[in-house]
Amino acid sequence: MRRLATDIGLWVVLAAPVAFSWPGHNAYPFWLLLVGLAGLGAAVAVSRRYPLVSLFIVVSLTAIDGNFSFALPVISYLVGRRMASIRPAAIGFTAIVVLFSPYVLIRTGFLTWASLAGVLVYAGLFPWLVGRYRRQQLDLVAAGWEHAEQLEREQRIISDQVRLRERTRIAEDMHDSLGHELSLIALRAGALELAPDLDERHREAAASLRASAGAATERLREIIGVLRDDTAPAPTHPTDEDVTELVRRAKASGMAAELTTTPPSTPVPPMVDRAVHRLVQEALTNANKYAPGAAVTVDIHHTDTDVTVTVRNAPPPAGPLPGIGQGGQGLVGLRERVRLTGGAFDAGRTPDGGFRVMARMPYAGGTVAPPPVETASADRRRLAQRRARRGLVTAVAVPAGIGAVLGAVAIGYYVYATTSAVLTPRDYAALTTGQDLATVEQVLPRREMLDPPTRDEPAGAVCRYYRSHGEIFNAQLDVYQLCFRDAHLVSKQTIPLGL
């Protein structure tokens, strides 16, 4: 239904110039006008399925009324926009030239044929090029979007895998801390069970507590064993290592790392504490990998309710490593770990060319935000759209520029041909019949006028036509007809024109 409404609207717009101009000249019957408008409607109707047929229909309709040529640029654009192949359109334009050129040359002459050829170039070929270019741009954009969506899906899968691995690490960290606490509970319950002054009722309760703690430890080990990633490398540092020891080991390995920290006033929850350790560890690893030799500062600021961790590294002294950028999958894991604590995470380059990783995590937890949505595909789409718009502007500007140049050349040639075909009224009056051709040619201009009027000519004579003045915008003009036979002037005639 929408396509039908669009086609009807297009037909109305294209038919308006023909319908409005017909009463003014009434050069052909009304029934022929209706036939032409019906043919234009047919051209619009078949332009979707048979674009080339619609082009032939419109070109044929110009033989009825020249105002049908207003539809030629639109139909030519649709031919380029809706046809997948170039070859049929090239054959179609060639066929139009071959089929219609003899008819125009015989009926109207070379100048009319040249003007119609220009119309075909400007109103037919150039719009077709724009339509063709637009189709290619849309096809490229569609292919780019499809590729971007595929990359986005792959990136999302990778990110999900990283988040799952990070959650597994969190579970392992919790196992290490909770398992230790449960073991202590079981040990203390066992000691209480063996106390000699404990009555039998309390001894049974202590034994039950020891058994429950042991069973909980075993179940915790089984659950974490299911989640554990066997492909992950075994840790090379103690699980209870704090950030101070982590930075100390980094300095011992040659990194220029400095730690600034404020001691917490309240105990830090295990999940937040492990997240702080993991964030500093990953940031130091990235700094050593992507900015070797750069100074690194680690700042940990504790308050009564939260902790803020900031790790900055300066630009590498030797400049950025070629082909390597920061912000890989390690940061995705950090973002997931901080997100699960209810905190906020940020990472990016600093104005001086370094890199900063920062996170704020509340002790009491908070609202866990949903995982971030990847925007790389949307960015690529916007870039493709901008390139397509620039390409479309270029496709329009280049033909317009070529048309302007050719138009300027045509106007220049017309001015030259007009001013070079002027026979002044005084020189014309001085000519008399019977003069020989050599004498007459001494006052004749360099060339004859373009598109002279047709008048009766003496039998066997060759006639020439000249303008009475070279004013381009003067509508009043006399045309001088000079006819020669046997190298003598046999006739002269003035033909008044009102252009």
pLDDT tens, 364-407? 876 565 655 545 555 666 666 666 666 656 656 666 666 667 66
For the cut 50, the answer to whether the pLDDT of residue 237 exceeds it is no
C-alpha Rg value of the chain to the nearest Å: 45
The whole-number pLDDT of residue 327 equals 46
Is 285 or 26 the better-scoring residue by pLDDT?
285
Give yes or no for a contact between 302 and 262, defined as CB atoms under 8 angstroms apart.
yes
Across 339-361, average pLDDT: 89
CA atoms within 13 A on the CB side of 428: 23
Q: What number is the average pLDDT over the span 55-79?
A: 82
Q: Residue 135 — pLDDT band, cuts 50, 70, 90?
A: confident
User: If residue 211 lies in a helix (H) or strand (E), which one and from where to where?
Assistant: helix 200-227
- Going by DSSP bridges, is the β-strand pair 488-498/462-467 parallel, antiparallel, or unpaired? unpaired
Is the Cα dihedral 398, 400, 401, 405 positive or negative?
Answer: positive
**246-272, pLDDT tens digit by residue?**
888 888 877 889 999 998 888 888 888
The pLDDT value recorded for residue 170 is 64
Rounded-to-integer distance, Cα 354 and Cα 319, Å: 10
CA triple 485-491-495, angle to 5 deg: 130
Place of tokens 């900055």: 312
Q: Which two tokens stand for residue 473?
A: 């915008």
Number of residues that this document lists for the chain: 499
pLDDT at 432: 92
287 phi, psi to nearest 5 deg: -65, -40
Please report which confidence band the pLDDT of residue 441 belongs to, taking 50, 70 and 90 as the band edges.
very high
Residue, of 359 and 14, whose pLDDT is higher: 359
The three-class DSSP label of residue 154 is helix
Q: What's the average model confidence in pLDDT over 309-326?
A: 71
What band does 183 get if pLDDT is binned at 50, 70 and 90? low
pLDDT score at 455: 79
Q: Band of the pLDDT at 483, cuts 50, 70, 90?
A: very high
The residue type found at 494 is T
Q: What is the mean pLDDT of residues 473-496?
A: 88
Residues 142-165 have a mean pLDDT of 69
What is the overall mean pLDDT for the chain? Answer: 78
Q: Which residues contact 352 (CB under 8 A, 6 or more apart)?
A: 314, 315
What per-residue confidence (pLDDT) applies to 5? Answer: 85
| Nearest by Cα to 396 from 134, 80, 72 | 134
The per-residue pLDDT for 323 is: 43
Q: Are 259 and 247 within 8 A, CB to CB?
A: yes
Find the range with the poorest average confidence among 110-119, 170-179, 201-210, 326-335: 170-179
Is residue 291 pLDDT above 50, yes or no?
Answer: yes
For residues 201-212, give the mean pLDDT. 81
Confidence at residue 2, expressed as pLDDT on a 0 to 100 scale: 81
* pLDDT for 453 beyond 60: yes
Least confident stretch, 189-193, 275-279, 430-434 = 189-193
**Strands across the sheet with 355-362, in order?**
257-261, 296-302, 306-313, 355-362, 344-349
For position 238, what pLDDT does the model report?
A: 47
Look at residue 440 and tell me whether its pLDDT is greater than 90: yes
Q: Is the pTM of this model over 0.95?
A: no
Q: How far apart are CA 132 and CA 136, in angstroms?
A: 6
* Amino acid, res. 245: E
Q: What percent of the chain has a predicted confidence (pLDDT) above 70?
A: 73
